[in-house]
Amino acid sequence: MIDGHIHLENGPLTIEYLEKFIDVAIKKDIKCIQILDHTHRFIEFRPIYENVKNAAKVQEEWFLKKSKDSIEDYLKLIKLAREKEYPIEVKFGLEVCYTSQKDEETRNILNNYKDKFDFIVGAVHSVYGLLYDMEKFSRELLWNVYDTDDIYKEYYNQIIKLMESDMFTQVAHPDTIKLFNIYPTYDLTKTYNKIADLALEKDLYLENNFGCYYRYNHKDPGLSKELKELLLNKGVKIMLASDAHIPEHVGQCFELWTN
């Protein structure tokens, strides 16, 4: 079993901290873990967040607190880890915050590092430059201002462009726009089919990410029932992902999938 989405975000970029995640994975009989961090952690990726920073002061403050390390420190950790032997497979990658407006900048920065990683995850975290999943301010900035149907259409438009970009091996939490239990008035089946077909065409993994379930208390343990069934019926590759931000959450809720 693989846990395809584990963050070091809440701790230092050290072997000691990494091995806390490895220890939990071993105890839970997980054979492979994919370690990553958001690109907003790394100062080298600051140019791709200009739209988010400029959209609202509160987002700029949020971003500047997150953007604190050099990716070179992460690469040093990866080198050290690859020199060691662990009883499970440990892969390393990035979770890239994708927007089509910053496609070229993202591509140029990634080209400097992509051969250093085992995988690259693409994620959409903003719509119109506004973060959609922040409990403290997303409702005020986005959900209470824009039409819900328009938010969903733009979110999935960005997901599709992400998938078409050929920069990524995996798509993070593809339907997590639902996390506040706010839904569009239109049927998403056509959109889901487009995503499934693109995943097959581009040979991409789509995540069943449990973070929305146990961190935001959403009813779906990952993908919605409709999207999950459609992906499975079409033979799309699905990656189980705890979205762990602390060691104890490695493999979180995986039993809900196997059950």
Span 87-112, average pLDDT:
98
As for how many domains the chain has, the answer is 1
The CATH number assigned to the domain holding 85 equals: 3.20.20.140
pLDDT, residue 217, reads 87
* pTM summary value: 0.95
Query: Rounded distance, CA 97 to CA 106, Å?
Result: 9
Q: DSSP labels for 80-131?
A: HHHTS--SSEEEEEEEEE--GGGHHHHHHHHTTTGGG-SEEEEE--EETTEE
Measured on CA atoms in the order 31, 13, 239, 108, is the torsion positive or negative?
Answer: negative
Annotate 6-45 with b (16+ C-beta within 10 A) or e (fewer): bbbbeeebeeeebbbbbebbbebebeebbbbbbbbbbebb
φ, ψ for residue 7, nearest 5 deg: -100, 140
Provide the residue range defining the domain that includes 123. 2-258
Average of per-residue pLDDT values in the chain: 97
Write out pLDDT tens, residues 56-74. Answer: 999 999 999 999 999 999 9
Give the chain's length: 259
The answer to whether residue 147 scores a pLDDT higher than 70 is: yes
